[in-house]
Structure 1
Amino acid sequence: MPSSPAMIEILSKQTVKPPPNSSHPRLCHLTPWDVAMLCPHYIQKGLLFTNLPPSLPLPLLLTTLQTSLSITLQHFYPLAGRLLTQKHLTGDKVTSLHVSIDCNDQGAEFIHAAAVKITPFDFLSPGEDIPSFVNSFFPLNGAICQDGHSSPLLSVQLTELAGGAVFLACCFNHIVGDGTSYWNFFNAWAEITRTNSLSLPPVHARWFIDGENPPIHLPFSDSSQYIERFSPPVLRERFFHFSTESIAKLKEKANNEIKTEENQNQNQNRIIISSFQALSAMIWRAINRARGFPPEQLTSCRLAIQNRGRLRPPQSPAYFGNSIYAVPATAAAGELEANGIGWAARQLNRAVTDHTDEAIRQKLREYHVAPVVYKMTMFDPKSVMVGSSPRFDMYGCDFGWGRRRR
């Protein structure tokens, strides 16, 4: 299987800007959920298309995508800007910083590349590690969100593969938005490419709790005091596929165990474990077992969870920005092993259920008192972090040449 970045050739780089007649606010203030993302990496997702129609030659495809991206940036204008940090002085001493998005229409990056020795099968081989060449499909791989001061907040790469397939990859600065925002953008781009219209425009008004107004002042005098560039060891990545039938069995098993426990305790408040909670519980227990922790060691499983539908009133599904938290379930390693999947899933279910409107608002009040920037070293190495969401419409987007292969 090919693995060398040298097999990928960059053919062209262009800057794509919104149309010159675009009108929008110049400054986008950031919420606590946004500012906290200064250290994490860009969101990196891509789709593989293997069924391009013969009537769509590559030069036309490139022109079409660049034109539609320009129109899409008119709607999602923060992505065409750059980050801006301003200093606040007390006398001649810098006492705080605040970060915002300067919506200056500098544009997004569009790269055309070729990897004609790489086939779609090299992606899709089941049971094998994700090949290292995949990182070369993402032009800002390794960048952190702080780099958006000078780098584009959005970078796109279309890579030609063997057999006429293409891989369309996006690097999306996590300060600008979360996974929901990413896929809303990606699907909007596809819709505009296909129909030249947009049915669900983004909502750009950033959300703040009552009594707290922007900007958020970070208690630092220089960005070096909160920026961390984490260099991971050599890692292996792999997809694990769970069939619909196996997930249904996991869910049934978890709910049956919960039902038995409730009957024994004469608990009238019935809990329903979701498929996602059952699968996450199984993975949590399996990783805990493989790590070989002593029984008394505390371990946690954190689920990235949306705030949009939990706030009262709820945010729009089209809210463009970050609106997520990671909610933890915690247990001793021995306790997690001794009890079944239903017990573990119940802990996750409780963490999700407890994430209410008031809980969200309380976390935000605490953030305004003591702002933080998330760093990799803040995360407990004994924990399991579950990101993304099965609810993202990542495989439904249609640019007009058929849906993705993966």
Structure 2
Amino acid sequence: MYASLRIPHFVSSVRAEKEKEMPAPTVRLISSTMVHLRESSSSHAEGSRRRWELTAWDVAMLSTPYIQKGLLFPMPPGPLYAAIQHLKSSLSRCLLHFPFLAGRLATDLETTTFVDCSDQGVQFDVAAADGVHVSDLASAGEIPAVVNSFFPLADGTVIGFDGYSLPLLAVQVTELSDGVFVGCSFNHVMGDGESFWHFFKSWSEITSGSEIISRAPLTERPPIHHECGRIRFLVSEEHMARFSSPPLRVRFFRFSRNAIVCLKAKANRQLRPEVGDISSLQALTALMWRCITRARRLPVDQTTTCKMAIGNRTRLDPPLPAGYFGNCMEAIAVKAVVGELLAQELGWAARALHDRIKGHTNLSARKFVEEWVKRPSVYHGLFEGNGVMVGSSPRYEIYGIDFGWGSGVTVLSGAANKYDGKMSAYRGKGGIDLEVCLFPHFMSALESDGELLDMLSIV
């Protein structure tokens, strides 16, 4: 049995009581403008394209909330107004490489949804968070609700389908007392996490003085989509599902590099796969699946599900180029009976995830597209009441993003796509940072879970 009384839970409880006594900080919107593509030569290939085709993976995202991610930075040198104007100017130049992000969704009545690249603009908001300091967010495990207001289109019910009228990309620069937060709301129809951070890094490169970006977006549709036939799916609001996030606690659990090494070794030692090793993320996901299931005190005969968002770029045959821009991911699922999940060792759950991911091949990815073209639909119900889901990836080099002010302090996300059991994995500065969303009473129980705290205590 794992110990249930640990000092970290006591400390977090005291912090929570102090926060109740303090007035909640507010965010003031200072300005909201539209940024358009800077004038380019007629020879610019992407600038001349008027229509951007969507794939099955893209159209399926029409009912999915926008991606809302951003980075916290120390205060830029010099006048902040000048830094913000420079951000706006560099965004205009960056859009020459990503002109589809300044477009809007449109419908071809003979086929389906596409992107009209007529440069209707990217929303650019400037705001101020009175009384919020970098230290309030950089070192805190608990993520305060004010962070949700650091993003434009902050309503978590905004979905891909709204891109017919709303910007496909919206940016907000929020001034803190001693820092700046740069947040983006990115229509998920336009791309997955890989594409989101591709754009974000490209923007930072231009802002910091580069004349070119390190990786141009490749937007040619994969051969599989040409082979499977044209998409014929005329969508309407009837196809959509809007989800309003319930009251949740959101906090980071930061696992050191040594903790991840120990966790991975433990999972492989307990149940080594026949081919290949259990990965760090598979071992961490297995740990959190067990700990959250235990925190929920589910009946032993109930079924619980663990989902992971995995990419298809390297699984396709031939694999897609590294710069491919768009969606190319799916969510795989593993089910287990609660009693067995908790009775077995960590390696048992990690092996189940490993085998499911290993079994997702080129044939699996191709089958999804082939069947989707025959019976198109949008994603509904990616979350389950007794389950967990891990999104994002520690592969993304988010701390390599530099607008000329140095590396970001921490990554934060908005209100969109948050529900009980949702987790986002990021490459931390010393290991893996895991953002976890849970109902408050489940989070309180999780903070006292001995198996979790044993790993968090490894420095």
Identify whether the pair has TM-score above 0.5, normalized to the shorter chain: yes
Residue 206 (structure 1) shift = 2.3
1:254 lines up with 2:267 in the alignment: yes
Q: Which is further off, 315-324 or 15-24?
A: 15-24
Aligned to 2:253: 240
1:149 lines up with 2:164 in the alignment: yes
1:211 lines up with 2:227 in the alignment: yes
One-letter amino acid of the counterpart of residue 43, structure 1: I
One-letter amino acid of the counterpart of residue 31, structure 1: T
Name the SS of the counterpart of 1:386 in structure 2.
strand
Aligned to 1:44: 68
Q: Deviations over 1:38-81 (max 9, x none)?
A: 1111101111111522xx32122112111110111110111000
1:77-156 equivalences under 5 Å are 77-88=99-110, 98-127=112-141, 129-141=142-154, 142=156, 143-156=158-171
Paired residue for 1:293, among 293, 298, 310?
298
Aligned to 1:345: 350
Q: Is the 8 A contact 1:115 1:162 kept in 2?
A: yes
Q: CA RMSD in A?
A: 1.8
Distance 1:234 1:59 in 2: 36
Q: Is the 8 A contact 1:258 1:343 kept in 2?
A: yes
Distance 1:179 1:395 in 2: 15
Q: Count how many residue pairs are aligned between Structure 1 and Structure 2.
A: 381
Q: Is the 8 A contact 2:228 2:369 kept in 1?
A: no
Paired residue for 2:93, among 71, 78, 86?
71
Distance 1:255 1:185 in 2: 36
Distance 1:369 1:386 in 2: 29
Q: Deviations over 1:283-306 (max 9, x none)?
A: 011122222333332222111001
Distance 1:193 1:121 in 2: 25
Q: Is the 8 A contact 2:104 2:165 kept in 1?
A: yes
1:228 lines up with 2:247 in the alignment: no
Name the SS of the counterpart of 1:238 in structure 2.
strand
Q: Is the 8 A contact 2:383 2:389 kept in 1?
A: no
Distance 2:322 2:335 in 1: 30
Q: Is the 8 A contact 2:303 2:335 kept in 1?
A: yes
- Where do 4+ consecutive residues of structure 1 move more than 4 Å? 1-5
Paired residue for 1:199, among 211, 214, 217?
214
Name the SS of the counterpart of 1:248 in structure 2.
helix
Distance 1:315 1:198 in 2: 19
Aligned to 1:405: 409
Name the SS of the counterpart of 1:233 in structure 2.
coil
Q: Deviations over 1:1-60 (max 9, x none)?
A: 57747x22211111111123363321112111101111111101111111522xx32122
1:333 lines up with 2:338 in the alignment: yes
Paired residue for 1:61, among 75, 83, 87?
83
Q: Which runs of 5+ in 1 are unaligned?
A: 89-96, 263-268
One-letter amino acid of the counterpart of residue 103, structure 1: C
Q: Which is further off, 102-111 or 378-387?
A: 378-387
Residue 145 (structure 1) shift = 1.3
Distance 1:310 1:125 in 2: 37
Residue 198 (structure 1) shift = 1.2
TM-score (norm. length: structure 1): 0.89
Distance 1:350 1:17 in 2: 46
Q: Which is further off, 336-345 or 367-376?
A: 367-376
Name the SS of the counterpart of 1:304 in structure 2.
strand
One-letter amino acid of the counterpart of residue 213, structure 1: G
Name the SS of the counterpart of 1:78 in structure 2.
helix
One-letter amino acid of the counterpart of residue 150, structure 1: S
Q: Which runs of 5+ in 2 are unaligned?
A: 1-18, 411-459
Q: Is the 8 A contact 2:76 2:83 kept in 1?
A: no
Residue 177 (structure 1) shift = 0.5
- Percentage identity across paired residues of the two chains: 46
Distance 2:223 2:81 in 1: 45
Distance 1:25 1:3 in 2: 50
Q: Deviations over 1:102-156 (max 9, x none)?
A: 11111101111112311112213434x3111111110112221111111111111
Aligned to 2:5: none
Distance 1:71 1:300 in 2: 44
One-letter amino acid of the counterpart of residue 59, structure 1: Y
Name the SS of the counterpart of 1:242 in structure 2.
strand
1:24 lines up with 2:48 in the alignment: yes
Name the SS of the counterpart of 2:92 in structure 1.
helix
One-letter amino acid of the counterpart of residue 388, structure 1: S
Aligned to 2:432: none
Name the SS of the counterpart of 1:87 in structure 2.
coil
Q: 1:44 to 1:241 in 2, by over 3 A?
A: same
One-letter amino acid of the counterpart of residue 252, structure 1: A
TM-score (norm. length: structure 2): 0.79
Q: Deviations over 1:148-207 (max 9, x none)?
A: 1111111111111102x1111111110000000000000000111121321210001122
Q: 1:111 to 1:3 in 2, by over 3 A?
A: farther
Q: Deviations over 1:235-258 (max 9, x none)?
A: 111111111122111111111101
Name the SS of the counterpart of 2:251 in structure 1.
coil
